[in-house]
Structure 1
């Protein structure tokens, strides 16, 4: 099995072509050795026929391909699916490695050139260069870093289709490719590395891609911890060290300063209860314990290594009194280290940290301490001891020693604490309403909270919030739902006592639509002591999530009313007069379509900026973006810079979801690059673009017209066409996705099949699998057609100007460009034939096809491209080169779906469907 090349490859991309060919050849050899020559020959015949069809549009080849695929036995079918799935995975690895290669080539070209090459877009070097060139003062930069917060939040969602076992082997392949790329190998070394590649690929082939059992939440927590080993433990400290060094090179004053840890990690895994009945107080407790054990294990290993390195003898170097004090209180009494105070001090630090691990319930550590020592009461005590070592080394001329492992460890402790990542709580406002209604009714029968109008609810909630007494009673029985919700907030309070307030700092409210939704959570927090009305203190940020079109249009009113409540503003002062708001990309898209979702999000931000400014409150936005464009995905750098001026006020949080987590963070260097992009974009948006002027009025008016037309077209299809719900379930793999063991969360919030109740993730994932990508473009063609019809003289010219001059519109169309390039209407038409009712099929699919054609035509007209992705040739080649490997998977998936839906319950049929879902997702990459 080898790679294809449908067009001429530029010289800079030849290494990518060579890597893909090498991996394809090794995979082919593995298939031949493991499954026999007959299977290999079928794989090759399918590959060559599919290439012939795509290259020459040879329809005889298409017929030949279908005949071959239809003739496969069940066992052969699954072997072919596995072959093409693994090729997609291996091609992804090669592409990721090529991104690293090109970044290194750019850095080396700049280092060796007479005049250094300009820093690349999305790097801190470029952001700092732009800041210097535009006159940003050092004081302003310091103020930014002092108050900034950049936080990627990892979430577990049912689109992650890779197991850790396969990711580990794929990382091994990536590391071997990197070694081959960076070293000149002898023939023997070349043979050795290829043999290592063959072992890794063989292991992959013999490892199941699928899980036999559905994941539990704790399994998702453990999977999430893997990315700290892969990337975050090493790369976050490296990021800070590099940034501090760049600042010092820019101005020596920075050399004496240590940056605050403004880039931190967040998580929803173990705290997100919205629609997931398996997230409980016990699960939250376990998640926090696992996180803490993981990070303390990392510290203990690093401190052990540090002790091996710092063998400095007190007879040769000066030792600070503070280090001497640490050494004197250390349980390390070995005469062999009598003259090595750093080692004795580090042994004491290790012993205290081991005691801390035991105190937090983590059991015995792998490597025992030399003796007993008191546990650390807080992470600040550990940081203080490490700072003592740092100051002593700096003062005795050993700065280079402090800049090694110790520097990275000190930063890691500051970033990760004893908690590793902050876990957000999340729950739906409907649940809060039921719980609060029950609490009031139990305390005072006849209150009828759930029947009160909004102003009545607010008045009652405020009255209760002013009271220092609890509303709950240990002598009353509550429903299981209420008991569970109370247990969660009490567990959050306990986590603050064990790990510090940063362990659980946020509470997100899904489906927020009124001020009472926020106050209900405030009441629940008060019951756990996380909010103290007499002191005016709140230990947790309460974050409303506005996620439907109606919610986005309403959010500024909600926040204006909330800020008009003196009681709430008093509490907000304890949070630094800062309020976070979360905006939902996924559900707003499912509700109103791609164009309208993007526009309503943009308008909501503008309105929120005005409301917050008027009330003197700092705005922090939390962007609930998914991996696919239909769920707010796309390049993070462009997305952040496309925000309206003032939306990024030095702080931003962004969800990282599903298979995107593995795509971004399983490769260490790519992971660091993605973290740096978030930080660089936040700096640029905050300091360079915050005061940028609003778009021209003509742009806003045009966008409003486009959005209205797109909304009507989308709603008319999805929510107002009879039978569309049935069409969706029958023409996609949504039913099969719901049963795939790839996440703990159900696919729908309820047991219904209504689109309204379906989660946005499987909604988008289902359309991606059938290669239609409908959530990423539907309605655009109709919108542009209507706009040009209404403005025949100026319409296209203005839209082209908007694309060139307005980052928001440019990002919107660029993301749509990519989605449409990944779609394939011919394959989508074959999925449409899965719909049993021909009249329903004939009523809906031709509408979708026309909209798809109109959307591509109008996109090309506005962007002035000859074909999709003209401006991104590398991505265009990648997508085109993948099609011959994706098409057979789609064909086989369709045939398996037919058998399964006809009543064939053979285990191989079910396994084949699930394997095909995995392979197609891998080939498309950002599909969920």
Structure 2
């Protein structure tokens, strides 16, 4: 009944509104877009009917030209297709805005996973004390990355933000004006954004969404669970930041860029404090208090606009304590609540706003270490083990200077380490306290970073940094336990850990793990790795924190995030929930206050519920564990067979949009690792890899191998075991539902024409057969009759979005087919493919 009521609400406040505003949208005087709104339904109908009949996109688009337009030349056809793309892009923004505006009406404070629901349950089950006990040191941290999955330029994001507000008020005049602005605003960046541009784009959300969201959520948590003898610690909600610090594969992120981004973060939070203080002073106009707050305002102003860089969070708090004392002793404590709210924000955000991380690839570090040993030591690098190189650099009191080296990467690596101290002085230690190492496989990968700090002049006591290994391949995950055990046994690292309060953060890469091992295998391997790392850390008296590198869609570790964390049993350390949020997941899941508050709550309660409330479905029995392991291996075998097919990479390269990701000006980072024209599987980055499957509407990384694995057990007469596993294991159920979400966003009729392709026909059939099998097997074990059956609102949203972009998919595939046959103007056709990427990704939101 709840689902039916919510679906009806969705129809009223989203679907109906979209129809109304879309009709308004169709009549707007857009440049060069006259009558496109009238033509679009014809292209949609030709596409929908044509694909079901097995027609190719080329046949469908040509038939559309012939039956519904008067265009004849190739130039006219392509001009019309560009106009359609531009129109659909704007329809997507309109639907996004309407759906975002409806968020509060579709969710309630008493929903599962909210703070209010947690409080009610804790009271009913007499677990309030247990929840408070868990809250003493538990935290949720969301880390924003600059990975290029967001195709809205900043100007469009601002319109989206304003359009949502106008829709909330049903202000037709304002909506009309904003839609006109949207029609005349370019959707394409003329130039590739710099890392600083990317940072500023996300800082916009920090300033105008998260400052209030987290402040209000903290207040709500205090009201629900705080008491006279229990105070919620200020780090319960944390923000992390990668743009400007993530050097992995991005040569444009320099040490100077990192300093600039750190400065922007500091300046931005001070601006928030300065503006917030204006509101505060309007109420706290009392003698004594007013003068103290004026001094604080002047000091903030000087730091923001005169670059004084002298104010610290401690200084701000000192002013506030003085003001509070006067307020309570001389003015009856009037408006103390708003002063306390302001003080809480300062405690939460300090002078850093979000913690800026540094990330670099372990292979770069090894290159730097080798060069340092060669230059400063008399020994020959070739004759030394990596461990011996580290020991030389740590023990011989070497001081490395960036200018001693010609190689840019060595200079930049050393500078970035040297700059940590300066950033910590200005932004506080919370402003930068982590160094993340991609592709970590060995102890030396971690110790190399410690050695870099030593040769850059840091004494042991001054290395106020957490060194975080990132295990992201099947091999890396398999080695993780031994690597961490050896690290915990290392005397030098032991001393460093003691200084870091025996807390070790370990990052796990879902995106690359899925690309490497397939969906089921990657998720199980990460789960099992977390168990092993939890055990080895506990045995060494180390508090381990897992940091998950998750993307938006299931194929990159996303999907139902709350259910995923709520499903992890007591064998996995649950000290903190920490994950990356990237691209359009920022705007679609954390893009406004209502959504952000709701999703922060969901993460927090997932971690607390997991420990406080008993549920046998969270803990795997040995039988269930063995069964998942078996399914994971069977699925992995199937996925590896696909990966090793000689047509795997050529299929993506020739049939999909893979090679066009690098031609979009959406991110500063190159779209593949390695140089040269030859494309290798290991060079593929997870985002364009998953995104390309998504553009084909095949979503292979989200399901491939799952169906084969279940079918094998069914053939052995063991299907009931898998059904029981789905019913009794929250973890397995979450994996199945996420995989079904990936399949729901697939649309194989788009590529039915591939059945008879001379080169790729058989390969396409392998993909399609596994899709059909996976769907059939999942229906059998779940008892569902449709994908996303338990989420009718989500399913409806996907359906509307898919309808909006179906013509866009036709245009993209049409252009790709022309390119494959070397027909038409190559430059124009490539632009059609690239431009189609934008609307497809934005409409799918979490499917790329």
Query: In structure 1, what is the equivalent of residue 319 of structure 2?
Result: 385
Q: Give the direction of change, closer, same or farther, for the CA distance of 1:174–1:8 in structure 2 (3 Å limit).
A: closer
Q: Is the Cα–Cα contact under 8 Å of residues 648 and 686 in structure 1 kept in the other structure?
A: no
CA contact (8 A) 2:705 2:770 kept: yes
Once the 2 structures are TM-superposed, how far is the Cα of residue 352 of structure 1 from its aligned partner?
Answer: 1.9
Quote how far apart the aligned CAs of 1:212 are: 1.1
Q: Residue 202 of structure 1: which of 180, 191, 196 is its match?
A: 180
Check the 8 A contact 2:811/2:836 in 1, yes or no.
Answer: yes
The answer on 1:418 being equivalent to 2:409 is: no
Distance 1:61 1:284 in 2: 48
Does the Cα contact within 8 Å between 1:383 and 1:413 map onto a contact in 2? yes
Alpha-carbon distance change, 438 to 881 in structure 1, aligned in 2, over 3 angstroms: same
Question: Quick check: 2:754–2:764 contact (8 Å CA) kept in 1?
Answer: no
Q: SS where residue 654 of structure 1 aligns?
A: strand
Equivalence for 1:798: 721
Matches within 5 A, 1:739-758: 739-751=663-675, 752-758=678-684
- Alignment: residue pair count: 832
Deviation of the 1:774 alpha carbon? 0.7
Cα shift at 1:164: 1.3
1:348 aligns with 2:300: no
Q: CA deviation at 1:554?
A: 1.4
1:662 is aligned to 2:587: yes
What secondary structure is seen at the aligned counterpart in 2 of 1:265?
strand
Relative to structure 1, the CA distance from residue 493 to residue 594 in structure 2 (aligned partners, 3 Å threshold; closer, same or farther) is: same
Match of 2:601 in 1: 676
Deviations 1:232-272 (A, max 9, x none): 11111111111111225xx6655xx4542321110111111
Alignment map for 1:240-389 (pairs within 5 Å): 240-248=218-226, 253-254=229-230, 257=231, 259-312=233-286, 340-357=287-304, 360=307, 375-376=310-311, 378-389=312-323
Please say if residues 645 and 691 of structure 1, whose CA atoms lie closer than 8 Å, have aligned partners that are also in contact: no
Match of 2:455 among 527, 530, 533: 527
Measured at CA, do residues 733 and 475 of structure 1 come closer, stay the same or move farther in structure 2, by a change above 3 Å? closer
Cross-structure match for 1:123:
114
Deviation of 1:391 (Å): 4.0
Deviation at 1:915, TM superposition (A): 2.5
Unaligned runs of 5+ in 2: 72-76
C-alpha separation between the residues in 2 aligned to 1:786 and 1:212? 51
Per-residue CA deviations over 1:429-471 (Å, capped at 9, x if unaligned) read: 11111111111111223332x664xxx433552464355x234
Quick check: 201-210 or 140-149, which moved more? Answer: 140-149
Distance 1:474 1:208 in 2: 42
Query: Alignment partner for residue 387 of structure 2, among 436, 452, 458?
Result: 458
SS in 1 for 2:335: helix
Q: Secondary structure at the match of 2:169?
A: helix
Question: 2:842 maps to which residue?
Answer: 922
Match of 2:64 among 68, 77, 92: 68
Distance 1:667 1:451, change over 3 A: farther
Q: Matched residues in 1 for 2:147 and 2:323: separation?
A: 43
Q: Counterpart of 2:439?
A: 511
Indicate if the aligned counterparts of 2:655 and 2:816 stay in contact, CA closer than 8 A: no
1:53, distance to aligned residue in structure 2 (A): 7.4
2:102 paired residue number: 98
TM-score (norm 2): 0.93
Q: By how many angstroms is 1:906 displaced? A: 6.8
Query: Contact conserved, 1:461 with 1:516, CA < 8 A, in 2?
Result: yes
Contact 2:754-2:760 within 8 A present in 1 as well: no
* Mapped contact 1:230–1:665 kept (Cα < 8 A): no
Residue 154 of structure 1 aligns with which residue? Answer: 144
Distance in 2 (CA, whole Å) between partners of 1:205 and 1:473 is 53
- Partner in structure 2 of residue 80 of structure 1: 84
Distance 1:538 1:891 in 2: 55
Residues 646, 686 of structure 1: 8 Å contact kept: no
After the TM superposition, which of the residue ranges 473-482 and 501-510 deviates more from structure 2?
Answer: 473-482
Unaligned runs of at least 5 residues, structure 1: 1-6, 108-118, 181-192, 313-339, 363-374
Structure 2 counterpart SS, 1:235:
helix
Tell me the alpha carbon deviations over residues 365-424 of structure 1, each in whole angstroms, 9 at most, x when there is no partner: xxxxxxxxxx43x211111211332344345565561223x3332222222221221111
Contact 2:534/2:571, CA 8 A, preserved across alignment: yes
CA 1:690–1:8: 2 relative to 1, 3 Å: closer
CA contact (8 A) 1:650 1:683 kept: no
Measure, in 2, the Cα distance between the counterparts of 1:584 and 1:529.
32
- Is the aligned partner of 1:734 residue 2:693? no
- After TM superposition, the structure 1 = structure 2 runs for residues 363-512 of structure 1, keeping only pairs within 5 Å, are 375-376=310-311, 378-395=312-329, 398-399=332-333, 401-404=335-338, 406-448=339-381, 452=384, 456-462=385-391, 464-466=393-395, 469-472=397-400, 476-477=404-405, 479-512=407-440
Q: Secondary structure at the match of 2:378?
A: coil
* 3-state SS of paired residue (2:578): strand
Matching of residue 819 in structure 1 with residue 732 in structure 2: no
Mean CA deviation greater in 681-690 or 420-429: 681-690
CA apart distance, 1:667: 1.8
Alignment of 1:210-225 (within 5 A): 210-225=188-203
Task: Give the Cα–Cα distance (whole angstroms) in 1 for the partners of residues 302 and 514 of structure 2.
Answer: 50
| Closer/same/farther in 2, CA of residues 615 and 50 from structure 1, 3 Å limit | same
Structure 1 segment 589-738 matched on structure 2, within 5 A: 589-688=514-613, 694-718=619-643, 720-738=644-662
Worse overlay, 901-910 or 887-896:
901-910
User: Residue 543 of structure 1 aligns to a residue in which SS?
Assistant: strand
Q: 1:437 to 1:246 in 2, by over 3 A?
A: same
Q: Deviations over 1:92-143 (max 9, x none)?
A: 222222222122xx34xxxxxxxxxxx31121222233344444463x5455
Q: Distance in 1 between matches of 2:235 and 2:611?
A: 17
Call closer, same or farther: CA 1:12–1:585 in 2, change over 3 Å: closer
- Give the structure 1 partner of residue 74 of structure 2: none
The verdict on how the C-alpha distance between 1:231 and 1:358 changes in structure 2, with shifts beyond 3 A counting, is closer
Instruction: Give the distance between the partners of 2:6 and 2:126, measured in 1 at CA.
Output: 44
Give the SS at the match of 1:487.
helix
Confirm or deny: 8 A CA contact 1:425 1:507 kept in the other structure.
yes
Task: Describe how 1:752-791 pairs up with structure 2 within 5 A.
Answer: 752-789=678-715, 791=716
Within 2, Cα distance between the matches of 1:690 and 1:567? 41
Other-structure match for 1:336: none
Q: Does 1:145 align with 2:143?
A: no
Q: Distance in 2 between matches of 1:692 and 1:102?
A: 28
Q: Distance in 1 between matches of 2:424 and 2:100?
A: 39
CA drift at 1:486: 0.4
Structure possessing the higher radius of gyration over alpha carbons:
1
State the distance in 1 between where 2:405 and 2:50 align: 68
> Does residue 889 of the first structure (1) align with residue 826 of the second (2)?
no
Q: Which moved more, 1:557-566 or 1:635-644?
A: 635-644
Distance in 2 separating the partners of 1:638 and 1:726: 36
Q: Are residues 1:23 and 2:28 paired?
A: no
Look up the SS of the partner of 2:358 in the other structure. strand
Indicate if the aligned counterparts of 2:193 and 2:665 stay in contact, CA closer than 8 A: yes
Aligned 8 A contact 2:140 2:600 in 1:
no
Secondary structure of the 1:840 match is: coil
Q: Within 5 A, what are the aligned runs for 1:38-77?
A: 38-47=35-44, 67-68=63-64, 73-77=77-81
In structure 1, the residue corresponding to 2:847 is in which secondary structure?
A: coil
Q: Give the root-mean-square deviation of aligned CA atoms.
A: 2.7
CA distance in 1, matches of 2:579, 2:741: 21
Task: Quickly say closer, same or farther: Cα 1:474–1:767, change in 2 above 3 A.
Answer: closer
1:318 corresponds to? none
Alpha-carbon shift at residue 877 of structure 1 (Å): 1.9
Tell me which residue corresponds to 1:861.
780
Q: Distance in 2 between matches of 1:609 and 1:906?
A: 54
C-alpha deviation, 1:608, in angstroms:
0.8
Residue 498 of structure 1 and its aligned partner are, at CA, apart by 2.1
